[in-house]
Amino acid sequence: MHHRFIALTLALLSACSSGIGNTNSLPPAAPSTKLGPGDLFEVSVLGEKDLPKEYRVQPDCSIDFPYLDRVTAICGLEPQELVDKLKESLKQAGILTRPQLTLVVKQYASKRVTVGGQVNKPGIVAWTDGLRLFEVIQQSGGFTSIADSKHVVLTRQTANNRSVTVTVNVDGIGEGTQPDVPVQAGDTIKVDSRVF
């Protein structure tokens, strides 16, 4: 009986600790730069200084672009694909013969990270390329006074509609003893209360 109790205890301990600080089991953050509703970007057209620069993708996946009126079917395009579409539309409309455009995405509002629990501002953080866990916590107002910052739970959906959950010591990231974790759009971050 004593041996079974020890074996069961060890099995429970190893099950509880799986994933704690082990971000290796987390699928790598897959950057998705395709445009979606709410995304904000800046377009510069060479030689056209008076044109508006900032554009936000509307819920119907369109933007109002000077000379072209409404440009549709933007959602799902990569930024360079949208540049090509705008260039072609400007040429076809006879506005510019060889348009030169640059596009910089300022905010991927359609791509989000959800943060809940013991942070000062729980809710949604807009995903940006290169966003990391420590920065998400900072954008959420930091931890509350009762947050368990050594056991922050990050859940990521995988390609096969499953999810992987790991526990990360965010204090270790802040102290430089643990590497920061890249986040991807759709990640969920939960901060529980410390056990007193």
Question: Above 80 in pLDDT, residue 12?
Answer: no
CATH 3.50.50.60 corresponds to the domain 40-107: no
Question: Above 80 in pLDDT, residue 93?
Answer: yes
The C-alpha angle 39, 41, 44, rounded to 5 degrees, equals 160
Residue extents of the structural domains in the chain: 40-107
pLDDT at 25: 67
Give the start-end residues of each E strand in 14-146. Answer: 40-45, 54-56, 63-65, 69-71, 101-117, 123-127
Q: Which two tokens stand for residue 44?
A: 């510069």
What is the sign of the dihedral through the CA atoms of 127, 182, 116 and 11? positive
Q: How confident is the model at residue 15 (pLDDT cuts 50, 70, 90)?
A: very low
For the stretch 146-165, pLDDT in tens is 999 999 999 998 777 788 99
- Distance in angstroms (rounded) separating the CA atoms of residues 81 and 119: 38
- Distance in angstroms (rounded) separating the CA atoms of residues 149 and 193: 9
Any residues with CB less than 8 A from the CB of 110 and at least 6 apart, and which? 35, 36, 37, 38, 39, 57, 75
Please answer whether residues 82 and 74 qualify as being in contact, where contact means their C-beta atoms are separated by less than 8 angstroms: yes
* Nearest residue to 153 via CA among 17, 19, 27, 31: 19
- Distance in angstroms (rounded) separating the CA atoms of residues 90 and 99: 7
Q: Is 13 exposed, middle or buried (0-12, 13-18, 19+ CB in 10 A)?
A: exposed
Name residue, tokens 């079917």: 73
Q: How confident is the model at residue 4 (pLDDT cuts 50, 70, 90)?
A: very low
Model-wide pTM > 0.85: no
Question: Above 80 in pLDDT, residue 135?
Answer: yes
Beta bridge mates, 102: 44
Name residue, tokens 């200084």: 49
